[in-house]
Amino acid sequence: MDLHLKDEVAVVTGAGKGIGLAITEALAREGVHVIAGSRSRTAELEALRIKYGVSVVLVDLSTRDGADTLVRRAVDERGRLGILVNNLGATDARTSFLDVDDGEWQRVFDLTFFSAVRASRAALPHLLEAPHAAIVNISSINARLPFPTVVDYSAAKAALTNLTKSLSEEFSPRGVRVNAIAPGPVRTPFWTAPGGLADVTAAAAGTTAQEAIDVVVPRSMGISTGRVTEPEEVADLALFLASPLAGNITGAEFTIDGGQIKTT
């Protein structure tokens, strides 16, 4: 399917690995000029720079001026911007709400919510000049299915999903569509890195990290398909939403969780 994305200009946040990396690669493969914001330079991102000419911008997007730096680089390099993917978001596993202090709430909101606020604010003046433009926010099922173990992250994702609607209301009449994707568990370093959630789950279940993510997580979380989502599957959805093929889709949230959420 031709997504009609060739020669578009896109900014992706948190692009060094996981879902952000998969979205960056998928966009680049479609002929999009991608400006990839990442805190650290990864071998995978470097490979995309060499293969597709992806621009890698090393930037801390939890800071006030990180998003401005990233968007300015896109506009300086390409003179325009048509797509913003707010992918960045992170948390640590919590034991109790009572153990999360103000500093941690602020850190998680800076990474997960304010990074998208700031990137959107920096990008929108340029997106409004594009013939058709799109913002895709990577939210989470935790926006609607809060877990006490990620209490702060769940609240930040709820705010991001809410922001998606407000931005769509204000800017889609002026040509910028704004949508959100809400994944369930996705096989990324967030889970698979040493000390990540797969290790935590494996320790609790008395098994290996591989078994934890392949069997324990799908079973214990009630994932109907019996498996977690792959980053490339989130990327496919993000590309469709960013493309003109989704031209009348805005203000919507798309769940990709293998049937984990049971309510209608």
Token pair in block for residue 70: 């990233």
Q: Which stretch binds ligand NAP (CB under 6 A): 54-62, 165-173, 216-224, 242-250?
A: 54-62
Please choose, out of 84-92, 93-101, 128-136, 171-179, the segment that lies near ligand NAP by the rule CB under 6 A.
84-92
- Reference 142, options 126, 156, 163, 122; nearest CA is 156
147 near ligand NAP, judged by CB under 6 A: no
Q: Residue 153 catalytic?
A: yes
The single residue among 189, 200, 221, 227 that binds ligand NAP, judged by CB under 6 A, is 189
Binding flag, residue 159, ligand NAP (CB under 6 A): no
Residue 255 is inside which H or E element, if any?
strand 253-256
Q: What residues contact residue 117 under an 8 Å CB cut-off, 6+ apart?
A: 163
Distances (CA, A) of 48 to 10, 28, 41, 242: 14, 8, 11, 20
Please give the biggest Cα pair distance in the chain.
55
Binding to ligand NAP by residue 89, rule CB under 6 A? yes
86 or 172, CB closer to ligand NAP? Answer: 86
Which position among 14, 82, 218, 258 is part of the footprint of ligand NAP (CB under 6 A)?
A: 14
Q: How far is the CB of 185 from ligand NAP (least distance, A)?
A: 4
What are residue 179's phi and psi, to 5 degrees?
A: -135, 165
Q: Of 133, 22, 161, which Cα lies nearest the Cα of 71?
A: 133
Least spacing, CB of residue 189 vs ligand NAP, in Å: 4
What is the three-state SS of 140-177? CHHHCCCCHHHHHHHHHHHHHHHHHHHHHHHHHHHCEE
Contact residue for ligand NAP among 62, 154, 250, 255 (CB under 6 A): 62
Nearer to ligand NAP, 175 or 196 (CB): 196
Contact between 190 and ligand NAP by CB under 6 A: the answer reads: yes
Q: Cβ closer to ligand NAP: 70 or 80? A: 70
Which residue in the list 153, 171, 191, 254 is annotated as catalytic?
153
DSSP assignment letter at 97: G
Catalytic residues: 153
Q: Using CB under 6 A as the criterion, which residues of the chain lie in contact with ligand NAP when the complex forms?
A: 14, 16-20, 37-40, 60-62, 87-90, 111, 138, 140, 183, 185-186, 188-191
